[in-house]
Amino acid sequence: MSVGKALPHDSGPLHVSGQARYVDDIPAPAGALHLAFGLSHVARGRITKMDLDAVRAAPGVVMVLTAADLPRPVDVAPGAHDEPLLSDKAVHFIGQPLFLVVAESHLEARKAARLGRVEIAEEPPILTIEQALEADSRFEDGPRVWTKGDASGAIMGAPHRLQGRIEMGGQEHFYLEGQAALASPQEDGGMHVASSTQHPTEIQHKVADALGLPMAAVRVETRRLGGGFGGKESQGNALAVSCAIAAHLTGRSCRMRYDRDDDMIVTGKRHDFRIDWEVGFDGEGRIEGLDVTQYARCGWSQDLSLAVADRAMLHADNAYLLPSARITSHRLKTNMQSATAFRGFGGPQGVLGIEAALDRIARHLGLDPVEVRRRNYYAPMTEGEQGHPHLEVAPGETWQEAPEDSDLASRGSGEDLPREPVAPATRNATPYGMEVTDFVLHGMTDRLLETSDYAARRAEITEWNAGSPVLKRGIAFSPVKFGISFTLTHLNQAGALVHVYQDGSIHLNHGGTEMGQGLFRKVSQVAAEVFGVDPARVRITATDTQKVPNTSATAASSGSDLNGMAAKAACEAIRGRMAEALASLHQCEARAVRFAEDHVEVGGDRISFARAAQIAYEARVSLSATGFYKVPDLSWDRIKGQGRPFFYFAHGAAVTEVAIDTLTGENRILRCDILHDAGRSLNPALDIGQIEGGYVQGAGWLTTEELVWDERGALKTHAPSTYKIPACSDRPRDFRVALWDQPNPAASIYRSKAVGEPPFMLGISAFLALSDACAACGPAEPALDAPATPERVLAAVRRARG
Amino acid sequence: MQVSLDINGASVALDLDARTTLLDALRNHAGLTGSKKGCDHGQCGACTVMVNGRRINSCLTLAVMHEDDEITTVEGLAEGNTLSPLQRAFISHDGFQCGYCTPGQLCSATAMLDEAAKGWPSNVTADLENATPLTDEEISERMSGNICRCSCYPGIVEAIREAADAPAQKTGAEA
């Protein structure tokens, strides 16, 4: 058995010896050129004059390109065709690429890019939510609204009503490896691109589009990323396309990487949100109706914002059954970086909205916040229930022709191919009409409260706070129920390519990208499991659009689910052929052939796997296969907000304890207990790493990580000197993570569950604990906003004191 | 200008602009890409190397300043194919996810263990007169200059703890 083993990351020995190559470590081909963008210093306006003579005359400069110099209009948007690579005169944010410098060295390109004299007729930028609403500056024709029942009526008729607002900041990905690409022209007009991307197919599509080539003429390779977190789903397009164009024009290899400050100024981040809510509830804290309005600042272009905002709506319920709900979402267009995918993809923002409301309900009624949460949970998965009923995809699906140039492989393409939604479920249904049949948070909550000793600690903290005027402690529990699948249904597919060589070595390739999450290790464990061999026999190879085509981004936590299944299918095809060949030689049934412990047992013989491969080869059996997988049972209408967008839900729960200093607002996480549902884990060590990392990153989003734009729209926090991500000493002092470890009721890869994004939302418990500590300072509502920097904590303490 | 650097025990002659940072010299001129460029201004720690056994942000120092110094990068931590105890511990404790900060973490931790062994205090050391044990809090504080966005800090601290506690003569697996 290799599935379920805590094997270390596949690249471990390479990482610790410095041999692991990232894009910028690939030796440059002779004569390689380097690229840099000239950036806008104005948030909104029109270019009236571009004097680039000094740029062209600068040392080392080979070529300077503006939009007018490009052979054809070049767009780098994922889907919406609203991101010209270089400004077409219109300027939309500070940091927008206006021209491209091609030079002999990285430094020369960057220095020359600073010499451009660009005159821009400035217009007042749209920066705030108020400004955007006032100007009706938004994506889509108006707010999206999904409803379940009559929320207004339910709220009006409820025994208790509360309303509130929470603001939450965005988040810089701060992948430690900045965006990077390297393009090399090939014979016959083709282009090879190495890109630090989560979405090689997207890069391939955009490069082909920019060069006027068929996709088959462009090859994109990605061995590994130095962190992605969603920031490399669409944001690598501009670099890869620039490199490809410059390589095409010069005939030389071209590479580009953003300097850290440029990276933060140019690329999109997590969407910041304001959430207004009104809730009606009974005397026990049970919600009767919830009305939520989400405002997202999406930045200058659409990017993936519609899908992000959809997912925020899809998680406005988090783990709670809402008898009636109205969810409104404003996707506001502002003159800032174009906000993009970031771990959780809108989910964390949606979850924080209802978690803040539940805390208010608990404080209002004087109830324990955990108890209020439990009372509102979805009904548990019933005993013996084998997951969800397998819904038939509605017959008579209607398909629409997609426009020829549409970016089908991107989450930014917005509209899914329309299909009939399944009939709305009724019993234990989400606001979008999906029956929740796999809910396990009741049991998980019970266990976590016990292992974390929640009740006793809460009592002790209350007592301690009473005697501590300056320092206050807080404790909070928060659960997460996260929907697994791309909400753009057709993206839920994957491919793999597997070869077994005649010496028994196995070559594995699939469409997923490795960015540290351990995907390659997990999929190699799947392959090793199918063949019954040591995982060391499986050679893991770089993601390559020439091997597996038409891939989806490694995103939405889907990497192992999708690619694991595709690889399993490919391995099973080969194993089946090997079994047939061996069985026929031994005159036995193919199903009696057993692959285990690096050996094959057939007709009483036990031969090595290598020997079995050799025999199969000699028997002229194909030892190469592709595998394909598509997620079943999905059906979703995002305009109506109805259907079954998710294959299953992943769950988690956390209890966090913090301390605050009421004189300075400084704070610390003292302890964190997590119980997380990774299904039957494919690799517990990697999964626990994802959970720990996700929690710390989530807590960082809500505590220290603050993005600040000035009144001109300039991002002032564009380096680690001003933008604070968690360091070693910021992790919880006492950090206890456990896996729930029950099989996924849905038929996922070996019954495991996706684990990339869900734990991020457990960081919300840190924020709620800070809020709890602030609330301990006085009788009034602290109304803490995020990120809970010392300044905000101090302000919340003052509000609590009344 | 011509510069001769002693990198990982080998003398390397380079022709550099005098303003070339040590990091750029290593990555772009000496062909040693193990040291990473994360922020290029001394805030992230990905470029940490050792100069005469002391850790240093190689992006904040010029190569020409190190003509007679012994420079050790991540490529020089192993002895031949034998990984150091710290390198092995990073693998066994999953002290990385994406791996981009790992070279800096390893160089930093290697030098840090030496600093601690010599009794150098940190910002959280309570007793400046007597040797303090290398607690998790001490490790966290002393490693606070090396950020890991994947937040593998639990694994990193466990790995450093194991290496700190390991007997020096322990031999290791092949790289």
B92, B125, B149, B152, best to mutate vs chain A, most A CBs in 10 Å: B149
Does A696 lie at the interface with B, CB-CB under 8 angstroms?
Answer: yes
Q: Write out chain A residues lying below 8 Å of B40, CB-based.
A: 259-260
Same domain, A143 and A95: no
* Domain edge (last residue) among A365, A397, A420: A365
Asked if omega into A787 is within 30° of 0 (cis), the reply is yes
Which pLDDT score, from 0 to 100, does residue B127 have? 87
CATH code, domain carrying A297: 3.30.365.10
Does A723 lie at the interface with B, CB-CB under 8 angstroms?
Answer: no
Homologous superfamily of domain range B2-74 = Beta-grasp domain (3.10.20.30)
Residue A420 lies in a domain: no
Facing residue for B151 by CB, picked from A14, A24, A731: A731
Hey, what are A29's tokens? 């081909």
Same domain, A160 and A302: yes
pLDDT category of residue A769 using cuts at 50, 70 and 90: very high
Asked if A686's CB is within 8 angstroms of B149's CB, the reply is no
Asked if B73's CB is within 8 angstroms of A729's CB, the reply is no
Helix (H, G, I), strand (E, B) or coil at A420: coil
Classify residue A711 by burial, with Cβ atoms within 10 Å: 0-12, 13-18, 19+.
exposed
Same domain, A188 and A332: no
Hey, what are A448's tokens? 């976590």
φ and ψ of A794, to 5 deg = -60, -45
Does residue A757 have an active-site annotation? yes
pLDDT digits (tens, 9 = 90+) for A228-253: 999 999 999 999 999 999 999 999 99
Q: Write out chain B residues lying below 8 Å of A27, CB-based.
A: 31
Does A763 lie at the interface with B, CB-CB under 8 angstroms?
Answer: no
Percent of chain A with pLDDT over 90: 93
Question: Cα separation of A697 and A596, whole Å?
Answer: 40
Helix (H, G, I), strand (E, B) or coil at A309: helix
Which pLDDT score, from 0 to 100, does residue B168 have? 54
A398 pLDDT higher than 50: no
Same domain, A99 and A204: yes
Q: What is the mean pLDDT of residues A174-201?
A: 97
Same domain, A788 and A681: yes
Size of interface A-B (CB pairs under 8 A): 171
CATH code, domain carrying A73: 3.90.1170.50
Hey, what are B5's tokens? 């650097």
Residue A327 lies in a domain: yes
Q: In terms of CA atoms, which chain B residue is nearest residue A19? A: B34
Best CA proximity match to A120, nearest among A96, A155, A104: A96
Facing residue for A728 by CB, picked from B40, B44, B157: B157
Hey, what are A564's tokens? 């694991």
| Total count of domains within chain A | 4
Q: Write out chain B residues lying below 8 Å of A173, CB-based.
A: 149
Q: Which residues of A729-746 are buried (b: 16+ CB within 10 A; e: fewer)?
A: bbbbeebebbbbebebbb
Which pLDDT score, from 0 to 100, does residue A414 have? 59
Which pLDDT score, from 0 to 100, does residue B169 have? 43
pLDDT category of residue A384 using cuts at 50, 70 and 90: low
Best CA proximity match to A223, nearest among A519, A467, A443: A519
Only one residue has tokens 């939309």, namely A92
Asked if B100's CB is within 8 angstroms of A176's CB, the reply is yes
Best CA proximity match to A691, nearest among A773, A638, A750, A755: A755
Does A172 lie at the interface with B, CB-CB under 8 angstroms?
Answer: no
Q: Write out chain B residues lying below 8 Å of A693, CB-based.
A: 97, 150-152
Q: What is the mean pLDDT of residues A199-217?
A: 98
Q: At CA A774, angle to CA A773 and CA A779, rounded to 5? A: 110
Task: Find all residues with CB under 8 Å of A504, minimum gap 6, and list them.
Answer: A533, A537, A608, A609, A610, A611, A612, A613, A614
Only one residue has tokens 């470029």, namely B47
Which pLDDT score, from 0 to 100, does residue A422 have? 47
Residue A411 lies in a domain: no
Same domain, A570 and A626: yes
A175 pLDDT higher than 50: yes
Question: Cα separation of A556 and A568, whole Å?
Answer: 20
B166 pLDDT higher than 90: no
Hey, what are B90's tokens? 């990073």
pLDDT digits (tens, 9 = 90+) for A682-705: 999 999 999 999 999 999 999 999
Which pLDDT score, from 0 to 100, does residue B128 have? 86
Domain of A224, in residue numbers: 29-124+179-257
Which pLDDT score, from 0 to 100, does residue A412 have? 80
Asked if A517's CB is within 8 angstroms of B40's CB, the reply is no
Which pLDDT score, from 0 to 100, does residue A393 have? 35
Q: Which residues of A257-266 are buried (b: 16+ CB within 10 A; e: fewer)?
A: bbbbbbbbbb
Q: Mean of the per-residue pLDDT values for chain A? A: 95
Hey, what are A268's tokens? 């999109």
Q: What is the mean pLDDT of residues A618-634?
A: 97
Question: Cα separation of A149 and A154, whole Å?
Answer: 9
A110 pLDDT higher than 70: yes
Pairing type for strands A325-333 and A287-299 reads parallel
pLDDT category of residue A333 using cuts at 50, 70 and 90: very high
Residue A418 lies in a domain: no
A7, A198, A681, A728, best to mutate vs chain B, most B CBs in 10 Å: A728
Task: Find all residues with CB under 8 Å of B28, minimum gap 6, and list them.
Answer: none
Helix (H, G, I), strand (E, B) or coil at A581: helix
What are the beta bridge partners of residue A107?
A: none
A7, A9, A16, best to mutate vs chain B, most B CBs in 10 Å: A16
* Domain edge (last residue) among A365, A391, A416: A365
Q: Write out chain A residues lying below 8 Å of B98, CB-based.
A: 175-177, 224-228, 515-516
Does A143 lie at the interface with B, CB-CB under 8 angstroms?
Answer: no
Which pLDDT score, from 0 to 100, does residue B130 have? 80
Facing residue for B147 by CB, picked from A20, A518, A727: A727
Q: What is the mean pLDDT of residues B8-33?
A: 97
Does A692 lie at the interface with B, CB-CB under 8 angstroms?
Answer: yes
Q: What is the mean pLDDT of residues A650-674?
A: 98
Write out residues 246-275 of A within 8 Å (CB-CB) of B. 259-260
pLDDT category of residue A745 using cuts at 50, 70 and 90: very high
Minimal C-alpha gap between A508 and chain B (Å): 20
Which pLDDT score, from 0 to 100, does residue B153 have? 98
Which pLDDT score, from 0 to 100, does residue A352 have? 98
Which pLDDT score, from 0 to 100, does residue A403 have? 54
Q: What is the mean pLDDT of residues A368-378?
A: 98
C-alpha distances out from residue A661 to A461, A475, B125, Å:
15, 15, 21
Residue A223 lies in a domain: yes
Question: Cα separation of B62 and B48, whole Å?
Answer: 14
- Residue A270's CB is within 10 A of a number of other CB atoms, namely 28
A394 pLDDT higher than 60: no
Asked if B94's CB is within 8 angstroms of A720's CB, the reply is no
Which pLDDT score, from 0 to 100, does residue A415 have? 57
Helix (H, G, I), strand (E, B) or coil at A377: strand
Task: Annotate A623-690 with DSSP letters as a single string.
Answer: -EEEEEEE--S-EEETTTTEEE--SEEEEEEEEEEEEEETTT--EEEEEEEEEE--BS-S-HHHHHHH
Facing residue for B141 by CB, picked from A9, A178, A729: A729
Question: Cα separation of A173 and A268, whole Å?
Answer: 9
Q: What is the mean pLDDT of residues A529-535?
A: 97
Same domain, A278 and A312: yes
Question: Cα separation of A347 and A414, whole Å?
Answer: 17
Residue A161 lies in a domain: yes
A405 pLDDT higher than 70: no
**What sections of A100-221 are H helices per DSSP?**
106-113, 129-134, 151-157, 200-211
Asked if B155's CB is within 8 angstroms of A731's CB, the reply is no
Asked if A259's CB is within 8 angstroms of B40's CB, the reply is yes
Question: Cα separation of A557 and A576, whole Å?
Answer: 30
Provide the ipTM. Answer: 0.95
Residue A256 backbone class (left: φ over 0; alpha: ψ -120 to 50; beta: rest) = beta
Does A603 lie at the interface with B, CB-CB under 8 angstroms?
Answer: no
Q: Write out chain A residues lying below 8 Å of B144, CB-based.
A: 727-729
Best CA proximity match to A169, nearest among A660, A698, A557: A698
φ and ψ of A384, to 5 deg = 80, 0
A9, A10, A14, A17, best to mutate vs chain B, most B CBs in 10 Å: A17
Q: In terms of CA atoms, which chain B residue is nearest residue A9? A: B94
Same domain, A138 and A118: no
Q: Where are the domains of chain B?
A: 2-74, 85-165
pLDDT digits (tens, 9 = 90+) for A160-173: 999 999 999 999 99
Asked if B143's CB is within 8 angstroms of A689's CB, the reply is no
pLDDT category of residue A408 using cuts at 50, 70 and 90: confident
Question: In CATH terms, are B2-74 and B85-165 the same topology?
Answer: no
Best CA proximity match to A673, nearest among A494, A417, A453: A453
Same domain, A115 and A134: no
What are the beta bridge partners of residue A166?
A: A275
Facing residue for B99 by CB, picked from A15, A700, A729: A15
Length of chain B: 175
Which pLDDT score, from 0 to 100, does residue B131 have? 75
Same domain, A89 and A196: yes
Which pLDDT score, from 0 to 100, does residue A404 have? 57
Q: In terms of CA atoms, which chain A residue is nearest residue B136? A: A733
Q: What is the mean pLDDT of residues A343-349?
A: 98
pLDDT digits (tens, 9 = 90+) for A29-85: 899 999 999 999 999 999 999 999 999 999 999 999 999 999 899 999 998 999 999
- Contact of B3 with B64, CB cutoff 8 Å: yes
Facing residue for B41 by CB, picked from A692, A721, A728: A721
Residue B59 DSSP label: G
CATH architecture of B85-165: Orthogonal Bundle (1.10)
Residue A467 lies in a domain: yes
Hey, what are A137's tokens? 């500056």
B172 pLDDT higher than 50: no
Minimal C-alpha gap between B130 and chain A (Å): 23
Same domain, A360 and A284: yes
Same domain, A476 and A511: no
pLDDT digits (tens, 9 = 90+) for B116-131: 999 999 999 988 888 7
Facing residue for A13 by CB, picked from B43, B46, B91: B91
What are the beta bridge partners of residue B2?
A: B15
Q: What is the mean pLDDT of residues A522-528?
A: 98
pTM over 0.90: yes
- Among A108, A757, A781, A791, the active-site one is A757
